[in-house]
Chain A
């Protein structure tokens, strides 16, 4: 029996190491963002918990720097527009895909999900060529269309998943009571699939909010987003200010995760 016990213990110990590997890198930047010195590592003062060694200096720098505030505005504008577009089109398509009369379902599903698995460098290169030809490069509209394309598969996947548990008798009952297709969608289907739609929308927003390659290829100075600004911060002028932004993004990610999990519980309950 001791062999089994050692095996269990080894498994558990290994798992602890893996969880540390997963989470520690994300946690470590949070305290470092309060560094009073322009270093990327813990100073002796920080380890002694000397209040002098900790400061909000980098947060102040981010808030006061117009480049960061402008990129936040761009990220929000592009992200929200792309999300609305992706969610609307994706939800409609998911409803179509889930109808029993759908022809070539497998092929079309594969096509709709393909932007998610296509390497983003390829999508970005193709979009750069094409959007330049049609005059959409270096415009907000171009980035919105591109980001909606990249975020749309997530909406399709989550809404199709929610619809797979949907009882078709409900729509039939509504139809037999005289409701038209629009009314059925609004009063019967939408409330039931809403958690899936919102999860998909959050995925789509997170995709746009974290996208840098398309912005790198297609965005001009007017379209600098938060990830683009971070990219510049990592490659060009490494400053702990990006750790402050990173901390903000971690908190944002946690909020998204909790919302999506809460929605998932609600829809499966």
Chain B
């Protein structure tokens, strides 16, 4: 136990603490609450109908000014804007113009700058954004929204993004798992029952892609599949397609499917191979001697014995596929993106880190369930490499 401790501590700091931070991020956001405490306190007195009392406007005017000075106004405006678009500019413009206003009444002053300040919707958005702990990112991640009256309802049809994407990710992962099984099963069989020397050589052909850099393999597929690429050139040269009819096989879903099947195939072949190697050829001969046709012997004797390998390989490929990021990002175009790409988008482009964390947490939960299933069926300690 003493020997394991250093690594457990290390893992706690470098891996588990980061995951915990991400989970916290998905429900915790103090930016607005810290910037507008008095405004939010005053809003608590408000019934939610019509414009709020003057005390709210007074506090808001003061705190917008200090947020502008502390340079946190942009962050605050951005968060409120996510709940009601258009409010970002209202916030920044109001804070700038209020500098010239010396005294109240503040409601008139703010309404004079932008009529959004007398719209109750604005204040609902401020109040919602001011919650320190919120389930809003999770609601967002499953295409739900909270209405001003506090009830939860699905987003309108045209604004649903994440559930369809989640669905697509599952389907694509399933398709890739099936492709890997169809391609991997026969070659695992060939390798497992070949004479040792030839078997090792063939196994090396599976291991070469396994060891080759993922970026290299993805680059290769771009080179092969793009419209001016090698495969299209060959098809044009032999006359199968015209020069103007070149197939678009990359930067779309086809690219994602082909490249990911290639990347994940070794993870299917290796567990299959290690199970098949332990099946004595005698079994098939015995079945044949008792009059079974090869198809019957395969179906009733061989296939059932390979099921542990089929399960292990399929689960592993599926787990790796649903969280894949690099390959879809490089060859998927816009139609071949998966849920991971959306996490990356919110991390790097939209900077909606709370939503990125919530999507990541959902994905993590899915992977965790599959990992536990894998442990139950196969045993993590039997995970082997090549």
Contact = CB atoms under 8 A, between A and B. Distances in A.
Interface of A: 4, 7, 11-12, 14-15, 18-19, 21-23, 25-26, 28-29, 32, 39-42, 89-90, 92-93, 95-97, 99, 101-103, 105-106, 108-115, 117-123, 125-131, 133, 145-146, 148-149, 152, 154, 156-158, 160-161, 203, 206, 209-210, 212-213, 216-217, 227, 230-231, 234-235, 242-243, 246, 249-250, 253-254, 256-257, 260-261, 264
Contact of A210 (B208, B209, B215): B215
Contact of B3 (A19, A96, A234): A96
Nearest to B215: A230
A148 to B, nearest CB: 7
Contact of A93 (B7, B214, B223, B233): B7
A132 to B, nearest CB: 9
B366 to A, nearest CB: 9
Nearest to A254: B208
Question: 4 tightest A-B contacts by CB?
Answer: A119-B323, A96-B3, A126-B18, A96-B4
A108 B380 CA distance: 10
B347 A120 contact: no
A26 B385 contact: no
Contacts of B7: 89-90, 92-93, 112, 152, 156
13 contacts: A12-B190, A22-B205, A23-B209, A28-B230, A102-B1, A105-B381, A115-B15, A118-B367, A133-B21, A157-B385, A250-B212, A253-B213, A261-B204
Interface string B1-19: 1111111101101110111
A40 B229 CA distance: 7
Given A7-B294, A126-B21, A119 B220 contact: no
Contacts of B209: 22-23, 25-26
Interface stretch (B30-38, B122-130, B134-142, B356-364): B356-364
B206 interface: yes
Contacts of B216: 26, 29, 230, 246, 249-250, 253
A235 to B, nearest CB: 7
B186 interface: yes
B62 interface: no
B219 A29 contact: yes
Contacts of A130: 17-18, 21-22
A29 B320 CA distance: 26
A133 B21 CA distance: 9
Contact of A129 (B8, B324, B353): B353
A257 B204 contact: yes
Contact of A253 (B5, B14, B212): B212
Nearest to A158: B385
A131 B18 contact: yes
Given A89-B10, A157-B383, A121 B17 contact: no
Contacts of B219: 29, 230, 234, 242-243, 246
Contacts of B3: 92-93, 95-96, 99
B25 interface: yes
A146 B323 CA distance: 18
Contact of B22 (A122, A210, A212, A231): A122
Contact of A257 (B11, B208, B265): B208
B202 to A, nearest CB: 7
A95 to B, nearest CB: 5
Contacts of A253: 208, 211-213, 216
Contact of A119 (B18, B204, B356, B364): B364
Interface of B is mostly: helix
Contacts of A26: 208-209, 212, 216-217, 220
A114 B364 CA distance: 11
Given A117-B320, A127-B18, A253-B212, A15 B186 contact: yes
A122 B19 contact: yes
Given A96-B3, A123-B15, 8 more contacts: A22-B209, A118-B19, A119-B364, A125-B360, A157-B384, A213-B325, A217-B347, A230-B216
B352 to A, nearest CB: 12
A40 B221 CA distance: 11
B224 A25 contact: yes
B367 A102 contact: no
Contacts of B211: 206, 253-254, 256-257
B183 A41 contact: no
A109 B380 contact: yes
B187 to A, nearest CB: 5
Contacts of A101: 1
A26 B209 CA distance: 7
Nearest to A233: B219
Given A11-B186, A257-B211, A112 B11 contact: yes
B226 interface: yes
A247 to B, nearest CB: 9
Given A123-B18, A217-B347, A110 B262 contact: no
Interface string B313-341: 00000011011111000100000000010
B385 A42 contact: no
A257 to B, nearest CB: 5
Interface string B32-70: 000000000000000000000000000000000000000
Interface in B349-386: 353, 356-357, 360, 363-364, 367, 371, 374-375, 379-381, 383-386
Interface string B251-262: 000000000001
A225 to B, nearest CB: 11
A224 to B, nearest CB: 14
A254 B216 CA distance: 13
